[in-house]
Structure 1
Amino acid sequence: MSGVGRALELIGREDPRLCAFIEVWFERALADAERARGLPLAGMPFAVKGRTGIRSYAARRLIEAGGVPVGATSVPGPGTPWQTWGLGTHGRTVNPWRPDRTPGGSSAGSAVAVAADLVGLATGSDGAGSVRIPAAWCGVFGLKTTNGLLPSPDRTGLASAGVLTRSAAGARTYLAAVLDDCEPVPPVLPVPAVLSPDLGYADVDPEVAAVVRRAVGRLVAAGVVRLMDRTCELLDPREAWQAVRVGSPSPRAEEIRRVNDTALDALFARTPLLLTPTTPNRPHGHDGPGELFSTALTWAFNLSGHPAASVPAGFTADGCPVGLQLVAERGADVSLLAMACAVEEALTTVRP
């Protein structure tokens, strides 16, 4: 059986439980797999985010390289707060690790499809953390590319293309397909890095913070990173992000953005890597996050434009995955992925 055939069989068996897909293209995918045999990706099955995902630049490039889209993954349903969950054909999308918890959003189904091994790669988009948050909460790798690096339909400039894969190494396939120049350069280890548990403003769950600190400690012990004696403290970007999103700038919002951009430019002029928890909280229930902002540690980099990734860091005592966020200089997407691969290799044993 082909890779596409196996993926379709798994989706047919598992998706009624997971609700990761809103459409599955059985006949079309099997036909496309035959036509893609002689191309570089040789019929590799992948999923796209939402019904419009098939028209995205990334999906078109993957198809040109011989990838085969097998279906469209779930996003939040009509009237659903975007922070909470996805709505698939069979119902609300569940977290594969904890079905009583959300997988995060808005690339909910893409993260679940990858976490449950239905596909090895799924496209996403990230305007506030919509790739990195579900990646963290589903225990997979997620990458938000540098804002503007790839075409995006989002006129605010906040959203950029992204990908979810089982591993950082798996995301090389994505970058090789969507970028004209993607020659990886192995990082010189240890990579100088700054650890900021809260970016100076976020209220982080103590257990989430502890999981991330232990993971970073392992990276230091393994010689992957060298922590610099400094931190990164920003202004809370909430007001600035919301002003850009609704197209209503204010002097205060512009000042927040200016101060944060200046701080990040200074940091990356001296240090190639910033480390934070991906989210301040663990996955919440399907009734929503309440007053919590799961985006507290991600949306700063949608405003600034920096590429950012989430790598699995470990689990809380109640079985919830935790992500470690890696941020690099604008345009350093290929280097960031190489650093993420080194990080991931040192943290492989944290996954049960």
Structure 2
Amino acid sequence: MTIAAGVNAGEFRAVDVVEDALARIAARDGDLRAFREVWPERARRAARLVDAAGRPLPLAGVPLGVKASERPGSAQVARLVAAGCVPVGATAVPEKGTTAWQTWGHTDRGPTVNPWRADRTPGGSSAGSAAAVAAGLVPLATGVDGAGSVRIPAAWCGVVGVKVTNPDPGRLTAPGPLAGSVADAAAYLGIAVAADAGTADADAAAVRAVWSADLGFADVDEGVVAVARSAAGRLFAAGVTRVDHDLALEDPAATWLALRRGDRADRAVNDERLAAAFEVADVVLTPTAPVSAHGHDGPGDAMSVSLTWAFNLSGHPAASVPAGLGPDGVPVGLQVVGRHGAEETVLRVAAMLAGVVTMLDGHGGNDHG
């Protein structure tokens, strides 16, 4: 990362980088409400330790938002700190005890808002992490994805979000980053979850992809699908080989809910259908979410996770990469799903996509504010 390279080269100090991040949070987070807590003294102490380390660190001085439900002691945060990251605060997650559909982050100052449109939610549950990265408050933030909790807010906030291969096949959740770029996400993954996450230039023609607008069952908004389809088309135009394959999954809702309750559930049908798809293709491409970011009064009948939670059940790695802006001016994500353990392939395709898709109105990535 650029920050780490500068700190390691002595061009600037970690304490100065962290002071800049704290100043941005103080100036901008009053309305955004991406952070539940800010840890200025803890962050300054950690930055001083980075400056005194006396050796290069792969993520030296990089300010880090920590998902509030995760806290600083988690395994991935501990690895990031050991690599030089400096946690600066706890990012917002939904309030406990609220309705099952609530996806916005909650703070004692009110709900977290989407940096692109304050009347829209950033998605969740890694709401504050996505909003903080999208607004340029921090370059990296942690997330945990159990049904789309990293990928959906990444899509709706116009940043990169990755769910790695589920480390335990019996669990639905997997860790992953919210990042401003594919390269930053790869750097995070190489440290936090020891994923093979290189993003070296690839021969596009060597990558085969299946496109699916709805995975055979989801109710999707055509305006959102059009943006994702266009992004997939740019990949095909850049040399990725499109494979015609009728990928039609069963709706995973009942299975996901049963497993979440601890009940037995049969995943065999979708596992077999995905295995067949990955026999002929390296990645599956879909919209990340079937609809655009909804307002703070809820999603109505829309099932925001319908295109993501199948891959929590199957365990496949998946990334959301910015695909462009929807008709309402809110970002849309393209989901890139790979074979088990193939994070490197997922990120190679994500990097190709980042090279051919740009936000059109000058507010993309972390240029907000």
For the criterion TM > 0.5, the same-fold answer is yes
TM-score in terms of structure 1 length = 0.93
Q: Are 1:49 and 2:63 matched, yes or no? A: no
Aligned match of 2:256: 241
Q: Are 1:328 and 2:343 matched, yes or no? A: no
Q: Secondary structure at the match of 1:146?
A: coil
CA drift at 1:270 = 2.0
Structure 1 residue corresponding to 2:352, chosen from 342, 345, 348:
342
CA-to-partner distance for each residue in 1:298-326, whole Å, 9 max, x for gaps? 00000000000000111112211111000
Structure 2 residue corresponding to 1:285, chosen from 279, 295, 301:
295
Q: Secondary structure at the match of 2:48?
A: helix
Unaligned runs of 5+ in 1: 150-154
- Per the alignment, do residues 170 and 19 of structure 1 end up closer, same or farther by CA in structure 2, a change over 3 Å counting? same
Following the alignment from structure 2 to structure 1, what is the Cα–Cα distance between the partners of residues 255 and 123?
Answer: 23
Q: Are 1:28 and 2:46 matched, yes or no? A: no
4+ residue runs over 6 A deviation: none
The answer on whether the counterparts of 2:32 and 2:115 sit within 8 Å (CA) in structure 1 is: yes
The answer on whether the counterparts of 1:307 and 1:327 sit within 8 Å (CA) in structure 2 is: yes
TM-score in terms of structure 2 length = 0.89
Following the alignment from structure 1 to structure 2, what is the Cα–Cα distance between the partners of residues 9 and 178?
Answer: 26
Q: Are 1:226 and 2:241 matched, yes or no? A: yes
Structure 2 residue corresponding to 1:310, chosen from 309, 320, 330:
320
CA drift at 1:348 = 2.7
CA drift at 1:112 = 0.2
Amino acid at match of 1:73: T
Q: Are 1:195 and 2:211 matched, yes or no? A: yes
Report 1:92-241 matches (<5 A): 92-148=111-167, 157-180=171-194, 182=196, 184=198, 186-190=201-205, 191-223=207-239, 225-241=240-256
Following the alignment from structure 2 to structure 1, what is the Cα–Cα distance between the partners of residues 360 and 175?
Answer: 28
CA drift at 1:231 = 3.0
Following the alignment from structure 2 to structure 1, what is the Cα–Cα distance between the partners of residues 123 and 279?
Answer: 33
Aligned match of 2:94: 76
Amino acid at match of 1:232: L
Following the alignment from structure 1 to structure 2, what is the Cα–Cα distance between the partners of residues 70 and 102?
Answer: 23
Structure 1 residue corresponding to 2:271, chosen from 250, 261, 266:
261
Aligned match of 2:6: none
Q: Secondary structure at the match of 2:166?
A: coil
CA drift at 1:294 = 0.1
Q: Which moved more, 1:308-317 or 1:107-116?
A: 308-317
Following the alignment from structure 1 to structure 2, what is the Cα–Cα distance between the partners of residues 232 and 20?
Answer: 37
The answer on whether the counterparts of 1:25 and 1:71 sit within 8 Å (CA) in structure 2 is: yes
CA drift at 1:30 = 0.9
The answer on whether the counterparts of 2:151 and 2:319 sit within 8 Å (CA) in structure 1 is: yes
In percent, how many aligned pairs have the same letter? 53
The answer on whether the counterparts of 1:219 and 1:347 sit within 8 Å (CA) in structure 2 is: no
The answer on whether the counterparts of 1:47 and 1:73 sit within 8 Å (CA) in structure 2 is: yes
Unaligned runs of 5+ in 2: 1-14, 363-369
Q: Which moved more, 1:27-36 or 1:336-345?
A: 336-345
The answer on whether the counterparts of 1:121 and 1:165 sit within 8 Å (CA) in structure 2 is: yes
Amino acid at match of 1:102: T
CA-to-partner distance for each residue in 1:119-150, whole Å, 9 max, x for gaps? 0000000000000000000010000011017x
The answer on whether the counterparts of 2:243 and 2:280 sit within 8 Å (CA) in structure 1 is: no
CA drift at 1:291 = 2.1
Aligned match of 1:152: none
Report the aligned-residue RMSD.
1.7
Number of matched residues? Answer: 341
Q: Which moved more, 1:232-241 or 1:30-39?
A: 30-39
Aligned match of 2:29: 15
Q: Which moved more, 1:207-216 or 1:293-302?
A: 207-216
The answer on whether the counterparts of 1:23 and 1:89 sit within 8 Å (CA) in structure 2 is: no
The answer on whether the counterparts of 1:76 and 1:82 sit within 8 Å (CA) in structure 2 is: no
Amino acid at match of 2:124: G
Q: Which moved more, 1:26-35 or 1:181-190?
A: 181-190
The answer on whether the counterparts of 1:132 and 1:143 sit within 8 Å (CA) in structure 2 is: yes
- Per the alignment, do residues 41 and 62 of structure 1 end up closer, same or farther by CA in structure 2, a change over 3 Å counting? same
Aligned match of 1:60: 78
